[in-house]
Amino acid sequence: MHIVHELIDPDADKVVRRLSSSGYQAYLVGGCVRDLLLNRNPKDFDVSSSATPAEIKSLFRNCRIIGRRFRLAHIFFGSKIIETATFRANPRADADSGELLIHRDNVWGTDTEDAQRRDFTINGLFYDVEEELVIDHVNGLDDLKKRLIRTIGEPDIRFQEDPVRILRAIKFAARLGFDVEENTYNAIIRHRADIKKSSQPRVLEELYRLLLGGAARRSFEILAETGVMSCLSEHLGLLYGAKTGAVLDQEVSARVEQSHNSNNQDWAKGWLEHDLPSVATETVDTAPAFQSSFSDSVDHDVRMELAWNLLGQLDRMVAEGKPTSNALALACTLAAFVVPDILPDDIKPSQAADMVQELLQPLISQVGITRRDAERSVQILLAQRRLQPTRKKRSKPMVFVQRDYFSESLALHEMISAARGQVAPDLHFWRNLQKEGGIDPNQPPERKRRRGGRRRRRQTE
């Protein structure tokens, strides 16, 4: 494995070289090194250095220091940001508390300590642009060759330090097509309920990354088979038939015992000497099968098949570079469980709206979906009624086409047809109307600003 220097972003190269010439250690680090070694185009480039944020800012006028839990230097080149971090040590090294969850992470360290505190071995690689050398303190190159996702250090500890790492492990496994190393995989299941300890915005951000990273279907498959999906949202887990509770614990126990008997691994022996951790926060074990006022018309297994196929269609959209959004991804996730029920002519608009809200509301409360994304998802789902061939001539279709959510709605309409192995019969009609209206379907829609600008906070005396 080697890195072609021409694939490195010139601005990231400039940042590293300026830091190095100023007497600091500086390397490319993390996902960009991993992707370059896999001959993939990195989405962005990160730098790690012995320079502190203040020292970095003194070298770059286009720099801004951000963060409280994790202070970083953002170096701006137009709209591009080169994220530059200081080498850190594990903040737990001198801690006596029994609490493993990390709240602040600003303990400076060496490059070796920085590599060892990262999440997974494949993300712990440094690249020296001047020497053109990959620096590996964590055996990440070997795991890249084996195509394995493995935590750096004990996975039980690493996932308790930051439970969002569970979602990151699933993201990398799905996106890269890697396997999750057995010890890491079992720890994901054991600590799945710790996800609830993380802040909702961070969890939601990772959920959208799973959906919009080009591997939504595989990501959801892993979420379901590990039981993480039900810990993220009981409602979502019921819809997708995710595994839960005691069944998963028994499966892990059996795998570990088998591994212990065959390989006599120390980690397996140590784990078997302790009881399974209690998962008091996971309550879906006794939850009833998904039932709702609109779930009887189509068999749930048929809905699930359509739902999985829709996730595959979302991956196709991402691969083709078509515009997507959080709201479209959310609508795609739920469409199979409500769209068939709101299409019949005898369903009134108010009834259709109630059906969509009934399906979406539990997800809003359990995952913390923003009002903005929730409202747009409702619009996209309800628009499927208007896109049916029997309805296209009602009212004024051009007015509908000019709605800011129309392109996303038509994209979902096309995805639903493709997921059923069909071609939307009225697709050309709507595409032609878009052309007549001067609307480019390949451009992300502009969201209208609220009238009157930003709402000001009311002054109190």
Residue 392's φ and ψ, nearest 5 degrees, are -65, -25
> Which is catalytic among the residues 9, 13, 44, 136?
44
Q: Is the dihedral of CA 439, 445, 446, 448 positive or negative?
A: positive
Distance CA 282, CA 244 (A): 8
3-state DSSP assignment of residue 135 = strand
The distance of Cα 334 from the centroid of its chain, to the nearest Å, equals 17
Biggest CA pair distance of the chain: 74
Please say if 46 is a catalytic residue.
yes
DSSP string, 428-460: HHHHHHHHHTT--TTSPPPPPPPTTSSPPPPP-
Whether 119 is catalytic is: yes
Measured over the CA atoms of residue 282, residue 200, residue 192 and residue 222, the dihedral's sign is positive
State the amino acid at position 1 in one-letter form.
Answer: M
Query: What is the amino acid identity at position 298?
Result: V
Is residue 228 within 8 A of residue 198, CB to CB? The reply is no
Active site residue 156: no
First to last CA, the chain: 66
Candidates 119, 194, 315, 341; catalytic one = 119
Tokens of 413: 């309409």
Strands 179-180 and 72-77: unpaired
Query: Active-site residue numbers?
Result: 44, 46, 119
